[in-house]
Structure 1
Amino acid sequence: MQPVHSDVPRRAFVAGTCGAACVAVLSGCATYEVGVSPAQAPAAPGAQGTPAPGGSTQGGGGAHPLTSTADVPVGGGTVFADQDVVVTQPAAGEFRAFSATCTHQGCKVGEVVDGTINCKCHGSKFAVEDGSVVHGPARKPLPERQISVTGEDIVLA
Structure 2
Amino acid sequence: MDQQPTTPAARDERIEQQPGAGGHSRRRVLTGGATLAAATGLAACGGSDGGSGATSSAPAGGSSAPAAGGSGSGGGGGATVQTSQVPVGGGYVDEGAKVVVTQPTQGQFKAFTAVCTHEQCLVDQVAAGKIECPCHGSVFNAETGAVEKGPAEAPLAAKQVTVEGSTLRIG
Same topology, TM > 0.5: yes
Q: SS of the counterpart of 1:112?
A: strand
Q: Deviations over 1:17-38 (max 9, x none)?
A: xxxxxxxxxxxxxxxxxxxxxx
> Is 1:145 aligned with 2:169?
no
Using the alignment, how far apart are the partners of 2:110 and 2:129 within structure 1?
13
Confirm or deny that 1:74 pairs with 2:98.
no
Give the match's secondary structure for 2:169. Answer: strand
Pairwise CA distance, 1:68: 1.0
Q: Which amino acid aligns with 2:129?
A: G
- Give the CA deviation at 1:156: 1.8
Q: How big is the shift at 1:77?
A: 0.6
Structure 1 residue 109: Cα displacement: 0.5
What TM-score comes out, normalization by structure 2 length? 0.55
- Alignment match, 2:129: 115
Q: CA deviation at 1:153?
A: 0.4
User: Which residue matches 1:126?
Assistant: 140
Candidates 146, 149, 152, aligned match of 1:135: 149
How do residues 19-30 of structure 1 correspond to structure 2 at under 5 angstroms?
none
1:1-157 matches, within 5 Å, as 51=75, 54-55=77-78, 66-157=80-171
> TM-score when scaled to structure 1?
0.59
Following superposition, the deviation at residue 107 of structure 1 comes to 0.4
Q: Measure, in 2, the Cα distance between the counterparts of 1:102 and 1:51.
A: 25
2:134 and 2:128 mapped to 1: Cα distance?
Answer: 15
- Residue 139 of structure 1 and its aligned partner are, at CA, apart by 0.5
CA-CA distance at 1:70 after TM superposition: 1.3
Q: Distance in 2 between matches of 1:117 and 1:76?
A: 8
SS at match of 2:120: coil
Give 3-state SS (helix, strand or coil) of 1:66's partner. strand
Q: Does the residue aligned with 2:96 lie in a helix, a strand or coil?
A: helix
Letter in 1 for 2:154: K
Structure exhibiting the larger radius of gyration computed from Cα positions:
2
Q: Note the aligned Cα RMSD (angstroms).
A: 1.3
Structure 1 ranges of 4+ moved more than 6 A: none
